[in-house]
Amino acid sequence: MSASTPFALLANATSMPWAEVPAWPVAGFIDATAAELSRGARLCAMFGVPAGAGVQLVAVLAFDTDSILAVGSSTPCSGTFPSLTARHAQAHLFEREIWEQHGLTPDGHPWLKPVRRTAGNAPANGEFFRVAGGEIHEVAVGPVHAGIIEPGHFRFQCAGEEVLHLEIALGYQHRGIEEALSGGPHRATLIQMETIAGDTTLAHATAHATLMEALAASEAPLRAQWLRAIALELERLANHTGDLGALANDVAFLPTASACGKLRGDFLNLTSLLCGNRFGRGLVQPGGCRHDLEPARAAEMLDRLAPVLADTAQAIGWLWDSASVRARFENVGTVSAAQASEIGLVGPAARACGLVRDVRYDHASGWHRFAQAPVTVWPGGDVFARARVRSLEIQRCGEFLGEQLKAPPAGGLRGELAPAAPTRWPWRSSRAGGAKCATWP
């Protein structure tokens, strides 16, 4: 199927010369993208690249079953372009960002408003969606709200106890990472990547390192790739455990909520055993890894992993055993498989809707080309399914770590990284947003 596409094909974690990316006039480009999406492709990214006075639009598509990515672009354009969102909802956020960053207006976008732009200290959200009717009440929460997560403004449209619509305005806090990255990579780039989100340090650092390696047309040594895979799975374990604890907390189920808080710390401590930092800072660098896992420490990690996994399984088991929890999880917040693919869901959220979508499997890069955990899918799309997917992934993740820690590949940790060729796609020196496209963690 993908063989007949007019788009240029590219595997995950590789690069191609910018000149080889096909370009069409903008209307034709949107039509071609829509045609590919209609026959099953998924929109990974869509963004603008300044070219002279105009802007070139670029779309990255994923053919998950063929394990291949496809790239296409428009010729430089300005003013307006026909909106893709009207035909494929998954493009809506990308088009809003293009409008915000480059001033190109997607003609026919149903709900055009800024993504990150601020007005004063608040996000420039503009109009909130309103449901009309005398019975409807609008509830505004935030930006100062009862959580310790970041400030955000939430508008609920409620009819009695039924929430009809929620609109979220984020972006009250800015560290300016995006601006700081431009013109890079410079000495701080890796550290900035690691601090984008504290609990996703390793994933972002690995994405950045893989991108740099792809641009240099090289690869980290196998042992470094193995280490990254182990660190990434530890990060997954910590986050899934934390998420399940948060789910339990939200329905006021204390046993799992308390246990998971502690167990997440245990997983973070295992990451600390690996590299000296609980969140894995400083482990990954372009070209390899900074710390090795000697056989003695690998054995210690295996020893410490087993009881933590057993405790986690028990704590999560309480969730399934408790009728009051299941009553709160089942048939709540259901996303159908059709909706999930329409809005382009990925990750555990997509897998909980029954979509077989796992980048470690569909677009394997690094160590996952050689060692794979089975893709965890649960049908249903409700909160229960999302909890189940996480709990099953914890099991499979544990098995994966158990196997991998016993069979380390030999070799060095760091390779030489040739300087990146500036004309190769997808690196864009002006804007760092494109850095996401080469690898898709």
Stretch that binds another protein, among 30-38, 188-196, 256-264, 416-424 (CB under 8 A): 256-264
* Three-state DSSP string of the chain: CHHHCCCEEECCCCCEEHHHCCEECHHHHHHHHHHHHHCCCEEEEEEEEEECCEEEEEEEEEEHHHCEEEEEEECCECCEEECCCCCCHHHHHHHHHHHHHHCCEEECCCCCCCCCCEECCEECCCCCCCCCCCCEEEEEECCCCCCCCCCEEEEEEEECCEEEEEEEEECCCCCCHHHHHCCCCCCCHHHHHHCCCHHHHHHHHHHHHHHHHHHCCCCCCHHHHHHHHHHHHHHHHHHHHHHHHHHHHHCCCHHHHHHHHHHHHHHHHHHHHHHCCCCCCCCEECCEECCCCCHHHHHHHHHHHHHHHHHHHHHHHHHHHCHHHHHHHCCCCCCCHHHHHHCCCCHHHHHCCCCCCCHHHHCCCHHHHCCCCCCCCCCCCCHHHHHHHHHHHHHHHHHHHHHHHHCCCCCCCECCCCCCCCCEECCCCCCHHHHHHHCCC
Identity of the residue, 140 or 410, whose beta carbon is nearer to another protein in the bound complex: 140
Q: How far apart, in whole angstroms, are the C-alpha atoms of residue 341 and residue 197?
A: 26
The answer to whether residue 39 forms part of the interface with another protein (CB under 8 A) is: no
User: Which two structure tokens, joined as six digits, stand for 168?
Assistant: 């979220």
4 binds another protein (CB under 8 A): no
Residues 88-117 that bind another protein (CB under 8 A): none
**Residue 196 binds another protein, judged by CB under 8 A:** no
Q: Nearer to another protein by C-beta: 97 or 382?
A: 382
Cβ closest to another protein, residue 52 vs residue 134? 134
* Residue 334 engages another protein in binding (rule: CB under 8 A): no
Alpha-carbon distance of 371 to 239, in angstroms, equals: 21
Asked if 395 touches another protein (CB under 8 A), the answer is no
Please tell me whether residue 258 binds another protein under the rule CB under 8 A.
Answer: yes
- The residues, any chain, with a CB within 8 Å of residue 182's CB and separated by 6 or more, are 429, 430, 431, 432
Residue 119 within binding range of another protein, rule CB under 8 A:
no
Give whichever of 76 and 152 is closer to another protein, judged by the CB atom: 152
Q: Does 253 bind another protein (CB under 8 A)?
A: yes
- Pattern of binders to another protein over 152-171, x per CB under 8 A? --x-x-x-xx-x--------
Which of 302, 306, 327, 418 forms a contact with another protein (CB under 8 A)?
Answer: 327
146 binds another protein (CB under 8 A): yes
Instruction: Specify the pairing of strand 284-285 against strand 80-82.
Output: unpaired
Span of 251-259, 306-314, 355-363, 379-387 interacting with another protein by CB under 8 A: 251-259
**Residue closer to another protein (CB basis): 281 or 328:** 328
Stretch of 131-139, 233-241, 274-282, 366-374 contacting another protein, by CB under 8 A: 131-139
> What is the size of the binding site for another protein (CB under 8 A)?
32
Of the candidate spans 65-73, 190-198, 224-232, 248-256, the one that interacts with another protein by CB under 8 A turns out to be 248-256
Among 17, 121, 126, 138, binds another protein (CB under 8 A): 138
**From the CB of 252, what's the least distance to another protein, in Å?**
4
Q: Which is nearer to another protein, 26 or 259 (CB)?
A: 259
Is 197 a residue that touches another protein (CB under 8 A)?
no
Of 52, 120, 134, 147, which one interacts with another protein (CB under 8 A)?
Answer: 147
Q: Does 369 bind another protein (CB under 8 A)?
A: no
Which listed residue (130, 137, 186, 369) binds another protein by CB under 8 A?
137
User: Which one among 8, 89, 141, 375 touches another protein, defined by CB under 8 A?
Assistant: 141
Using CB under 8 A as the binding rule, whether residue 250 contacts another protein is answered as yes
Provide the binding-site residues for another protein, judged by CB under 8 A: 137-141, 145-147, 154, 156, 158, 160-161, 163, 248-255, 257-259, 262, 322, 324-325, 327-328, 332
